[in-house]
Chain A
Amino acid sequence: MTRAILKWGVLAVLVGMALYLIVALYAQREFVFAMLFLVLTASAVAVFVSKRLYAHRYIYPAVAGMGLFVIFPLMYTVGIGFTNYSASNLLSFERVQDNLLSRTYQSESARYNYDLYQTDAGYVVFLKSDAGDLISAPFELKDGQVPPIEVSPTATAPAGEPLAFRDIIKQRNALGELRLQTPDGRELSMASLRAFATIKPLYEKSGHDTLTNTRTGVTYFPNQDTGFYESADGDKLVPGWTVNAGFDNYKRVITDPSISGPFMQIFVWTLLFSVGTVVFTLVLGLLLANLLQWDQIRGKGFYRTMLILPYAVPAFISILVFKGLFNQNFGEINLVLENLFGIRPDWFSDPAMARSMILIVNTWLGYPYMMLLCMGLLQSIPRDLYEASAMDGAGPINNLMNITFPLILKPLAPLLIASFAFNFNNFVLIALLTGGAPDIIGASTPAGTTDLLVSYTYRIAFQDSGQNFGLAAAIATVIFLVVGALSLINLKLSKIKV
């Protein structure tokens, strides 16, 4: 009985919290996120209440975690790819309108010169004009003054001496935030060190969603295709809002030469890099695994431990170690090369050298994994095959090509594809080693000769001043398709039964 109460109590509390989150998100017009949590909560309740879905209780947390942090972000990213979401188009239409309507300017027509007095009750502002002087109630001067101070007509100046000009300069930050309210409802703010002036809204709603600039009289119409308020002669108001851009981002990748050029170059390099890494690590790993399997070799434990060391050191440390060792001026590798051969290659500024460096480092990082895989697979090959071939006088090369390779290729294939997919998206290596440098000349987005597609999208989204999330998401979608195809092939090849 207590168990049941406890169970329902906990469930009720959790559902209550989730509902609070959903309602709060909905109130903030974040419909996508509200929907996401609604689906998660509803399925949780269904799974934990229904007796029929007992087995699903066990898998719910894992599936929900995957849905929340893998599948939802993936779909969201694909969605962003069809919009113009970027640093200049971050907000929703309503928020942009509110932002523009809250802008103000100071009208030159009603200016008041002023004096500031310090009295026992606080500061007093005395505004002077031909139409009649105004005086404020005493107030404290501090940063972040929120409510406006009321001013009322007066005939006489306050007693005492006004503050000297240099004291006003000292208080100019606090005075700048001061707002004064006149009896006829106008708001005043500091226009210069010597004057206060009326604040007026810069834009006014002049019809259904159109805005008029009150100073120039120009009318701006919302353009739902570009996501900006535009005047008749094409003048845009920033910020804009997020709109559906259809396939525009994809078209830009294909047609805009300052994007398609770097994109193709990076795509080709990404393929070369992934294939190169897989080939080099496989050749090295297979060779070492063969040597380690050889009966005549003593001290296998020592060799094995030494050879997998690169795999045991955390990658983010060894990549940075290489970054330092390859450094042009104080790097130890150039020191050795200069002493031995008298050369100092430009590892970070010459594209070809930077690419070779990346391949060298990634082979260093990746061969132990291949070696371990090959060692496992080699053990499963029957030994008598090699004896038979030795009887026939076959050498090591013959053995490798005719026995070892054909036998391990099949179980190895899915692992090689997985390795290809991993390196296709090897973000950490590029981000920590070169950051994509040296840059491609003539690209309109940040793009480097050593950038992989993943690091390229990352830089478009997070490093560019424009933060073009839409374009980055479109390229990410292309990568999703490549990765999805690879993993489907992998699933077929490895013949997984469930």
Chain B
Amino acid sequence: MAMVEPRSTKYRVLASHLGMLCFIALILFPLLMVISISFRSGNFATGSLLPEVPSLEHWSLALGIPYTDDAGNVVQPPFPVLLWLWNSIKIAVISSLLILALSTTAAYAFARMRFAGKGFVLKSMLIFQMFPPVLSLVALYALFNEIGKHISWLGLNTHGAVIVASLGGMALHIWTIKGYFDSIDRSLEEAAIVDGATTWQAFRYILLPLSVPILMVVFILAFIMTIMEYPMASILLVDTDKLTLAVGAQQYLYEQNYLWGDFAAAAVLSGLPITAVFLYCQRWIVGGLTAGGVKG
């Protein structure tokens, strides 16, 4: 290495390692704590950080299996966690697929075609994307209330409403895909069109196969965003068995009914798959988050 190094470098490296390890310990404390709590018996913590007598009661309740304690009392699972996880995944998969399909076609038009109002639409999409949907919840509630009177599967308290409502947030994804399309040379498609292909065929058989990586990124991003969506789902969904995980999870920690241990198990159970997906895909996601949206 050509870098000129001061003498103190060795100590600085050591200090950096130490500092980072301490910091990581501090950062991971809450996460490790939750895992420990999920194995501790009872819902009210007292005494130690590590469970002295590990118990599987919270895990069995989180998996929906009634638990029999030492005294022989049967404890029923407080909430249908697995059903909530399934609701979340169902909603997230369907809306991510819809978002992917619609934003890809839109991005294609923005990247390859000339039409009136293109720059204006693109820019206003970027601006309107910053307005938080929480503020227009009254209007969204009224909108779905009206639609629901005539189309029952799109009304309040339906998953259809949550899926359709997520279609409002496509601007970010359109920008990401458009940025990728811009980086692909258009001569291939032009050659195909010269040979008699329609615009749709050039898009479907030439550009799409080349863009699979970015489509994966957008799918994962959209999936994670919909799974984490809270405000809209909290207003639109009412029944316990229709809730998504993001809305349902908070019911464990009400003042009157504080189920700390049960929550810990449910949180680890439902958070783990999402965290694993994120970590597995982190390189693509980071690329999509930092580059696509802003680069244009």
Contacts and interface: CB of A to CB of B under 8 A. Distances in A.
Q: Interface centre among B134, B165, B258, B290, by most A CB within 10 Å? A: B134
Contacts of A431: 230-231, 234
Interface string A454-498: 100110011000000100110010011001101110110010111
Interface stretch (A145-153, A243-251, A318-326): A318-326
A48 interface: no
Contact of A312 (B123, B137, B171, B275): B275
Interface string A405-416: 000000000110
Contact of B119 (A24, A33, A295, A498): A498
A269 interface: no
Interface residues of A, number: 101
Interface of A: 20-21, 24-25, 28, 30, 33, 53-56, 58-59, 61-63, 65-66, 68-74, 76-77, 80, 288, 291, 294-297, 303, 305-318, 320-325, 327, 330-332, 335-336, 364, 369, 372-373, 376, 386-387, 390-391, 414-415, 418, 421, 425, 427-428, 431-432, 454, 457-458, 461-462, 469, 472-473, 476, 479-480, 483-484, 486-488, 490-491, 494, 496-498
18 contacts: A25-B150, A30-B146, A59-B105, A73-B133, A73-B139, A312-B282, A313-B31, A317-B271, A320-B250, A321-B267, A325-B30, A331-B45, A332-B45, A387-B2, A427-B230, A461-B138, A486-B130, A498-B119
Main SS of the interface on chain B? helix
Contact of A55 (B37, B115, B139, B279): B115
A376 B228 contact: no
B71 interface: no
Given A454-B134, A498-B122, A324 B260 contact: yes
Contacts of A62: 102-103, 105-106, 170-171, 174
Interface of B: 1-6, 9, 12-13, 16-17, 19-20, 23-24, 27-28, 30-31, 33-34, 37, 44-46, 49, 102-103, 105-106, 108-110, 113-115, 118-119, 121-123, 125-140, 142-143, 146-147, 149-151, 164-165, 167-171, 174, 199, 224, 227-228, 230-231, 234-235, 245-246, 249-250, 252-253, 258, 260, 263-264, 267, 270-271, 274-275, 278-279, 282, 286, 289-291, 294, 296
Given A21-B150, A309-B28, A320-B252, A59 B110 contact: yes
Q: Which of B2, B13, B20, B44 has the most CB of A within 10 A?
A: B20
A33 B146 contact: yes
Given A306-B27, A320-B263, A387-B3, A479 B150 contact: no
A320 B249 contact: yes
Contacts, number: 277
A14 B233 CA distance: 27
B294 A307 contact: no
B27 A317 contact: no
Nearest to A425: B132
B229 to A, nearest CB: 9
Q: Which of A312, A325, A473, A479 has the most CB of B within 10 A?
A: A312
